[in-house]
Amino acid sequence: MPGQFQLSVDHLIKEVKEARDLGIPAVLLFDIPSKKDDSARGAYAKDGLMQKAVSALKKRVSDILVITNVCLCEHTRHGHCGIIRNLSKGETSTAFIDNDLTVDILAKVALSHAEAGADMVAPSGMMDGQVGAIRKVLDGARFMDTAIMAYSAKYASGLYGPFRQAAQSAPQSGDRSSYQMDIANSNEALREVELDIQEGADIVMVKPALTSLDIIYRVKQKFNIPLAAYNVSGEYSLVKAAAQCGWVDESKIIWEILRVIKRAGADIIITYYAKEIAAQLNRK
Ligand code: PBG
Ligand code: ZN
């Protein structure tokens, strides 16, 4: 993925300080452990990478919100967002992920992030009931003020390709279409958002952004809740690649894309262009 890097904790601190100094209000962290394990124990280990990174950040950098991605795909060797069920002999099923077991683990992961000091957790696995389970566990441990940004309407998209390369989280077999949404379906996105709000989400997210502008618009019209749009790795890389070929004016295109996402109704935009945009805003 062009211009994006995996960072060690010391480099992360430098990077987040820079972001803060540019006026960026929040960072979203993804952890890429050196050892993968199909039961994803490392994802909620007290001395895990995310836990270490978050507590270091909270100690060393002030005035920026720390949000953690809560999912298993960076932790499992098979690269799926949940625990894979043992299918009995001869059984074929598209529901090969054990949803409820995964949700229990995601709640542990979220709690371990909160204990490390995360301001907000962002469950991205599209497991049914994940937001409610996380809210319950956080509240039970007196983390009432730890917020949840739910990846509510997440489509099964080819635009996540560069991210999966960068995060080493591509599924080793099959795809994510049993838990992420079918791009041909729009009403399902509204149902997913509604469920996450009922389960206690503080912010709902739609993803990818550019291929879901209709969804962003409809969610904004229908629900009174902060709405985030994720301008994902493929959207970013398409622009980068065309700019490198000299085919488009990168700065012009970035502004156009971000304005249109905002025009559709997003209150928050998650983008790999954040530093570039913030620097330009500061010069104005
Ligand atoms: C996985 C996850 C994905 C992204 C963030 N967390 C997508 C996926 O691999 O299915 C995508 C981010 C991007 O493409 O920028 N839970
Ligand atoms: Zn995942």
176 Cα to the center of ligand 2, angstroms: 9
Ligand 1, residue 124: give the atom nearest the CA: 16
Q: Could you give the CA distance from residue 20 to residue 4 in angstroms, rounded to a whole number?
A: 18
Is there a catalytic annotation at residue 36? no
- In this structure, the chain runs to a length of 284
| pLDDT for the residue 181 | 96
Q: Could you give the CA distance from residue 123 to residue 221 in angstroms, rounded to a whole number?
A: 24
| pLDDT for the residue 111 | 98
Q: Is 151 in the pocket of ligand 1 (CB under 6 A)?
A: no
pLDDT tens, position by position, 116-141: 999 999 999 999 999 999 999 999 99
pLDDT tens, position by position, 101-117: 999 999 999 999 999 99
- Closest by Cα among 279, 273, 275 to 256: 273
State the average pLDDT over residues 9-16: 98
Q: Is 270 in the pocket of ligand 1 (CB under 6 A)?
A: no
Q: For 271, phi and psi rounded to 5 degrees? A: -145, 145
Find the catalytic residue in 14, 46, 89, 154: 154
| pLDDT for the residue 120 | 98
For the chain, list the domains and their CATH numbers.
9-283 (3.20.20.70)
| pLDDT for the residue 56 | 98
Give me 22's structure tokens: 């540019």
14 Cα to the center of ligand 1, angstroms: 24
* 90, 46 contact by CB (below 8 A): no
Ligand 1, residue 71: give the atom nearest the CA: 16
- Closest by Cα among 240, 246, 159, 250 to 206: 159
| pLDDT for the residue 199 | 98
259 Cα to the center of ligand 1, angstroms: 22
Is there a catalytic annotation at residue 207? yes
Q: Is 43 in the pocket of ligand 1 (CB under 6 A)?
A: no
Ligand 1, residue 231: give the atom nearest the CA: 15
Best residue among 152, 157, 160, 172 to mutate for probing ligand 1, ranked by most atoms within 8 Å of CB: 160
Residue 182: how many CB atoms within 10 A of its CB? 10
> Please, which pLDDT band fits residue 91 given cuts at 50, 70 and 90?
low
pLDDT tops 70 at residue 95: no
120 Cα to the center of ligand 1, angstroms: 18
State the average pLDDT over residues 22-35: 97
Q: Is pTM beyond 0.75 here?
A: yes
Find the catalytic residue in 36, 108, 207, 240: 207
* 205, 230 contact by CB (below 8 A): yes
| pLDDT for the residue 96 | 86
pLDDT tens, position by position, 158-175: 999 999 999 989 998 889
Q: Is 82 in the pocket of ligand 1 (CB under 6 A)?
A: no
| pLDDT for the residue 192 | 98
Lowest mean pLDDT among 129-133, 177-181, 219-223: 177-181
* 275, 18 contact by CB (below 8 A): yes
Residue nearest (by alpha carbon) to ligand 1 atom 5: 124
Identify which ligand lies nearest to the alpha carbon of 83.
2
pLDDT tens, position by position, 228-238: 999 999 999 99
Please give the angle made by the CA atoms of 106, 25 and 223, to the nearest 5 degrees: 65
> Please, which pLDDT band fits residue 94 given cuts at 50, 70 and 90?
low
* 31, 122 contact by CB (below 8 A): no
> Please, which pLDDT band fits residue 93 given cuts at 50, 70 and 90?
low
pLDDT tops 90 at residue 206: yes
